[in-house]
């Protein structure tokens, strides 16, 4: 059974007199930097000159500087920039300003695991990864709770990387809910697999296809939207609270019998084969190469797919219906 770490297992003493530079102020950057500051730690936000986030960070009470200057002033450098830009920023702004004994921190292992960033041997490299979108990392922290998280040690130059990772996790609020240890490889590969096969890619494709089948069969698009997309949150909430067992217990016998008999016909052996293919592309680096090259040419394929998603009928119907439901939480649209 995996060991969990909590507040009692971490101490801020190791971070005393240290400065943490958080590079980036997006979803995770704004949340983690503010949580660290509210935990009493010394934090600088590093942004490029002219960034639209600069004023926002200052309005939030954060000290802000350029990436290069923030790295120079810091002992611990947390890189919370998009995966596709991290390597370039590291080469140009971070690496020239690193000192021996510094620590590099990531919340996703992509650039380390796939050797886009190769740190010098005299710095610590560890991961602090809240398992939640940034707005929830911040909201739960302010509510005196937290979200679960991961830590991983890639390089332990000072011999203190593990203690630093736990203290850093405490500052973000993750040890309130529980933190367990993994590796950069395991976090990266399982995270990418979950995103592609289940949480994002698989679910989105399942929703769109089931919507299309109902509409093509002559049902009203609005009814199809509610049955294939809108109600999904209710089911996911049950699963989140008590696993599949609570979900099956909570739905009707009709839903349970239909789901258990038809579900395996939808997600079948062909689906399983496709999942293994996706996992192999992640493990052998094929997906990473494709994604890195896509970023180098300004993401034309991604932008095209985003446009097609926006123009899908389920999105057009959804926008109209959601406009009539003002109680929906607009915070979910935050970046």
Mind telling me the catalytic residues?
108
**Binding site listing for substrate:** 252
**Binding site listing:** 25-28, 48, 51, 134, 191, 195, 227, 231, 252
CA distance 104 to 125: 5
**Binding site listing for NADP(+):** 25-28, 48, 51, 134
CA distance 305 to 262: 30
| Residues in contact with 107: Cβ distance below 8 Å, sequence separation at least 6, in sequence order | 28, 32, 78, 80, 127, 128, 129, 130
- Laid out side by side, the sheet with 63-66 consists of 4-5, 179-182, 149-155, 124-130, 103-106, 76-79, 19-23, 42-47, 63-66
CB 301 within 8 A of CB 294: yes
């Amino acid at each position: 059974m995996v060991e969990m770490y909590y507040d009692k297992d971490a101490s801020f003493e190791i971070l005393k007199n240290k400065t943490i530079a958080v590079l980036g102020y997006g979803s995770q950057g704004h949340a983690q930097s503010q949580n660290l500051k509210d935990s009493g730690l010394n934090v600088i936000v590093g942004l490029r000159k002219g960034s639209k986030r600069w004023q926002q960070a200052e309005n939030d009470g954060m000290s802000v500087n350029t990436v290069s200057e923030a790295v120079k002033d810091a002992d611990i450098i947390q890189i919370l920039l998009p995966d596709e830009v991290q390597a370039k920023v590291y080469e140009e702004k971070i690496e020239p300003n690193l000192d021996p004994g510094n620590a590099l921190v990531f919340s996703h292992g992509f650039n380390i695991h796939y050797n886009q960033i190769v740190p010098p041997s005299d710095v610590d490299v560890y991961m602090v990864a809240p398992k939640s979108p940034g707005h929830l990392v911040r909201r739960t922290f302010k509510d005196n709770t937290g979200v679960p998280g991961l830590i991983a040690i890639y390089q332990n130059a000072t011999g203190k990387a593990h203690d630093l990772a736990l203290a850093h996790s405490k500052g973000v609020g993750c040890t309130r809910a529980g933190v367990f240890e993994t590796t950069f490889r395991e976090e990266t590969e399982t995270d990418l697999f979950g995103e592609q096969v289940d949480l994002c890619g698989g679910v989105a494709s399942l929703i769109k296809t089931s919507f299309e089948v109902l509409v093509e069969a002559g049902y009203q698009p609005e009814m199809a939207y509610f049955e294939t997309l809108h109600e999904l949150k209710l089911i996911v909430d049950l699963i989140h609270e008590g696993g599949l067992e609570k979900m099956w217990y909570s739905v009707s016998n009709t839903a349970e019998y239909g789901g258990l008999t038809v579900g395996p016909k939808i997600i079948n052996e062909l689906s399983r084969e496709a999942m293994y293919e996706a996992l192999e592309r992640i493990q052998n680096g094929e997906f990473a190469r494709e994604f890195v090259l896509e970023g180098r040419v300004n993401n034309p394929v991604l932008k095209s797919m985003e446009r097609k998603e926006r123009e899908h009928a389920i999105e057009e119907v959804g926008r109209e219906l959601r406009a009539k439901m003002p109680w929906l939480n607009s915070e979910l649209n935050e970046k």
